Amino acid sequence: MRILSGIQASGSLHLGNYLGALKKFADMQSLDATRFYMIADLHAITVWQDPALLLSQTREIAACYLAAGVDPALSTIFPQSAVPQHSELAWLFNCVARLGWLDRMTQFKDKAGKDKERASIGLYTYPVLQAADILLYRATHVPVGEDQRQHLELTRDVVKKFNHDFKTDYFPVPETLYQGPGARIMSLRDGTAKMSKSDPSDNSRINLTDDADTIAGKIKKAKSDMDALPSEEAGLAERPEAKNLVGIYAALSGITNQAVLDDYGGKGFGAFKPALADVVVDKMAPISEKLRALLNDPAQIDAVLARGAETAREAAAPVVKDVKKIFGLWG
């Protein structure tokens, strides 16, 4: 088993990123697998980024990996742009992928909107770069959220066409690695909107840099409703804020939503929110403390990234060399 995943280097990370990705990165270290976890800075520049801020965010996300328990002795942590083979393989796959495949990508349509003529070519073709990210390490399993499933399908299409056209089985067809509960955490201000680092309201999210008092205050202010919690999970269906808060409690505690309701069904949010705050503070405050310490020691972060990049380049170079040979190219 070979696993590849990553987080885009744009904006500060929050509770949704922790439960949807970081915690799972750390948990997957128990698997008998080779793991590559990148900070996707090449993906970030598909839209304009302030260069100094991008460098800072790349370092901060690496620190988040470490604070969340991703061990560089067990997993390779690296900046995507430090491994030039990502871009090289992406060009080769541009000559394999079909225009019609990219035309079907709904995420480009969502991000570009009505101004698609003004969008960068990189934003349009970045699913091909994502395929290169995965296949550069010949990954067999990819943990993906719902919004990335279509891109993984494109990766699988690239593999099948490449292997068919060149009569080889060089690349494995990557499989989705199920991530379990907690992969989609919603805003604390709107249970119908995903928790986002771009939301203008800081109270909409628990930032990984928030201290214990800030976390408790945000949970207290989180939007809820007037009714008591139901005794059965089906009762959450039409109550997005209640469902979100119960889901956060369950994901951080490692239990099901129904198990939470077994304890708190029939009780109001006046009783539930303090208990939820205790759980969130207990799990997240130590991570926040570690993160702040790491950010005060950028040399330590940079050393981890440099070692990871070297390991990633060593793994990537022979793959690109093999692919170029299959294409009939020099080098």
Residue 6 exposure: Cα atoms within 13 Å on the Cβ side: 26
Average pLDDT over residues 183-190: 88
Q: Among the options 111, 161, 290, 324, which is catalytic? A: 111
Instruction: Give the model's pLDDT for residue 178.
Output: 66
Q: What is the β-pairing status of strands 2-8 and 76-79?
A: unpaired
Q: Who's near 255: CB < 8 A, 6+ residues apart?
A: none
Inter-residue contact 55 to 15 (CB < 8 Å): no
pLDDT tens by residue, 260-318: 999 999 999 999 999 999 999 999 999 999 999 999 999 999 999 999 999 999 999 99
- Token duo for residue 222: 């989180």
Rounded Cα distance, 187 and 36, in Å: 29
Tell me how far CA of residue 60 lies from CA of 39, 79, 100, 209, in angstroms.
Answer: 10, 12, 37, 10
Is residue 197 flagged as an active site residue?
yes
- Is there a contact between 217 and 266 (Cβ–Cβ < 8 Å)? no
221 Cβ contact list (under 8 Å, min separation 6) = 188, 203
Half-sphere exposure of 296 (CA within 13 A, CB side): 7
Spatial distance between the Cα atoms of 26 and 14, rounded to a whole number of angstroms? 16
167 given a catalytic annotation: no
4-13, 133-142, 290-299: the lowest-pLDDT one: 4-13
Interior/surface letters 221-238, b for 16+ CB within 10 angstroms, e for the rest: ebbbeeebbbeebebbee
CA-to-CA distance for 132 and 312, rounded, in angstroms? 13
pLDDT digits (tens, 9 = 90+) for 146-178: 667 788 999 999 999 999 999 999 999 999 886
The residue from 23, 161, 194, 290 that is catalytic is 194
**Given pLDDT bands bounded at 50, 70 and 90, which one contains residue 210?**
very high
Q: Would you say 61 and 29 are in contact if contact means Cβ atoms under 8 Å apart?
A: no
The whole model's pTM is what? 0.91
Instruction: Give me the percent of the chain exceeding a pLDDT of 70.
Output: 97
Q: pLDDT band at 181, cuts 50/70/90?
A: low
Annotated catalytic residue, options 161, 197, 290, 324 = 197
In the predicted model, is pLDDT for residue 35 greater than 90? yes
User: Residue 268 phi/psi, 5° resolution?
Assistant: -85, 175
What pLDDT does residue 145 have?
Answer: 67
Active-site residue 194, yes or no? yes
Going by pLDDT thresholds of 50, 70 and 90, the confidence category of residue 115 is confident
Averaged pLDDT, 92-105? 94
**Which one has a higher pLDDT value, 324 or 107?**
324
